[in-house]
Amino acid sequence: MREIICHHYPQSPVAEKVRVALGIKQLSWRSVTIPRVPPKPDVDLLTGGYRRTPIMQIGADVYCDSLCILQALEATVPEPSLFPDGNPCWWAGRWTDTVLMDLAAAIVLGAGVENLPPEFAADRGRLYFGPNYDLHAFNRDLPHLAGQLRGHFGMMQESLGAQRFMHGERPGLRDVLCYYIVWFIRGRFAGGPELLTEFGELCAWEGRVADLGHGQSCDMSPEESLDSALGAASAAESRVDPEDPAGLEADEPVEVAPDGEGGDPPVRGDLVILTRDHIAVRRAHERVGEVVVHFPRIGYRVARPASNQ
Ligand SMILES: N[C@@H](CCC(=O)N[C@@H](CS)C(=O)NCC(=O)O)C(=O)O
């Protein structure tokens, strides 16, 4: 198998989700550290403009979004499975990655608003909450927001019960999903450790997940990762579902972007894959050659470019 390359930075909670999954699967991988805010010229060469963190690269295949990354990891390295009980509960991420992550981001950014570098606050405010974001309003609303999060942590702890991990004896997807929210709140919200103290079983579980580690990683320079794409061919096989309501055909030019108001730029390319859970487009640049950029279907908008409609 080609090397797994993860493009990330240490402080990213969503990257921590992927790092823990790499740990559960006991994988060896290469680590490329990317900037926390744009410009990200090397990332852009690989993704065609997708700027979020993390990104996984295997040769000339570039996986955007942690859902797509975890699905690709599970398909490429099925054992140990992210579903030790045999139930592929991908839906669980629709709780942690939307409601819970939005809440956690509002708390972390709202509580830190006076100390955040203005450029960082503006970037993340817009990205997570749209053009009308108001981090000071989150700051004023902290007691309410923390009260909400407390309820969610209660649900997490109840679901864990007396088990070692969320799925039972062995760790899996639901551990990865719940852990990165707890990790983010404990590490980046001054009131986080205090908020968590009442959840004794959850804190003990948090320690067990931390002990799983991140697999074995070895640093790679951005240049090396670009060379790796240039020297490789994508392993993606074309399949476009005629039942997809977007009504698109293989090889036609499309734009793909995260749904929502974050102002994420679209990625342009020729359609290679469109299924219920997967979008992929082919694009080329002289520095990386031909690459295929993958996205999850859920949470992403794919359409003909406005000028071609
Ligand atoms: N839906 C995406 C969300 C990724 C995301 O928002 N990541 C944050 C970092 S934790 C981010 O991209 N921040 C802006 C950046 O890194 O430029 C995923 O699951 O990967």
Q: Is 65 in the pocket of ligand 1 (CB under 6 A)?
A: yes
Mutate to test the pocket of ligand 1, among 34, 43, 53 (most ligand atoms within 8 A of CB): 53
Q: pLDDT at residue 179 above 90?
A: yes
What pLDDT score was predicted for residue 261? 93
Q: Which atom of ligand 1 lies at the shortest distance from residue 97's CA? A: 19
Whole-prediction pTM: 0.98
Ligand 1 center–CA 80 separation, angstroms: 26
Q: pLDDT at residue 59 above 90?
A: yes
Q: pLDDT at residue 102 above 80?
A: yes
Q: pLDDT at residue 253 above 80?
A: yes
What pLDDT score was predicted for residue 226? 98
What pLDDT score was predicted for residue 307? 74
What pLDDT score was predicted for residue 159? 98
Q: Is 66 in the pocket of ligand 1 (CB under 6 A)?
A: yes
Whole-number average pLDDT of the chain: 97
Q: Is 12 in the pocket of ligand 1 (CB under 6 A)?
A: yes
Ligand 1 center–CA 152 separation, angstroms: 21
Q: pLDDT at residue 149 above 70?
A: yes
Mutate to test the pocket of ligand 1, among 6, 14, 42 (most ligand atoms within 8 A of CB): 14
What pLDDT score was predicted for residue 128? 97
Total length of the chain: 309
Q: pLDDT at residue 125 above 80?
A: yes
The residue contributing the CA closest to ligand 1 atom 2 is: 65
Q: What percent of the chain has pLDDT over 90?
A: 98
Ligand 1 center–CA 151 separation, angstroms: 24
Q: How confident is the model at residue 308 (pLDDT cuts 50, 70, 90)?
A: low
Q: How confident is the model at residue 129 (pLDDT cuts 50, 70, 90)?
A: very high
Tell me the three-class secondary structure of the chain, residue by residue. CCCCEEEECCCCHHHHHHHHHHHHCCCEEEEEECCCCCCCHHHHHHHCCCCCCCEEEECCEEEECHHHHHHHHHHHCCCCCCCCCCCCCHHHHHHHHHHHHHHHHHHHHHHCCCCCCHHHHHHHHHHHHCCCCCHHHHHHCHHHHHHHHHHHHHHHHHHHCCCCECCECCCCHHHHHHHHHHHHHHHHCCCHHHHHCCCHHHHHHHHHHHHHCCCEEEECCHHHHHHHHHCCCCCCCCEECCCCCCCCCCCCEEEEEECCCCCCCCEEEEEEEECCCCEEEEEEECCCEEEEEEECCCCEEEECCHHHC
Q: pLDDT at residue 116 above 80?
A: yes
Q: How confident is the model at residue 309 (pLDDT cuts 50, 70, 90)?
A: low
Q: What percent of the chain has pLDDT over 70?
A: 99
Mutate to test the pocket of ligand 1, among 9, 34, 52 (most ligand atoms within 8 A of CB): 52
Average pLDDT over residues 35-51: 98
What pLDDT score was predicted for residue 178? 99
Q: How confident is the model at residue 292 (pLDDT cuts 50, 70, 90)?
A: very high
Q: What is the pLDDT of residues 271-289, one digit of tens each?
A: 999 999 999 999 999 999 9
The residue contributing the CA closest to ligand 1 atom 15 is: 52
Q: pLDDT at residue 106 above 90?
A: yes
What pLDDT score was predicted for residue 306? 85
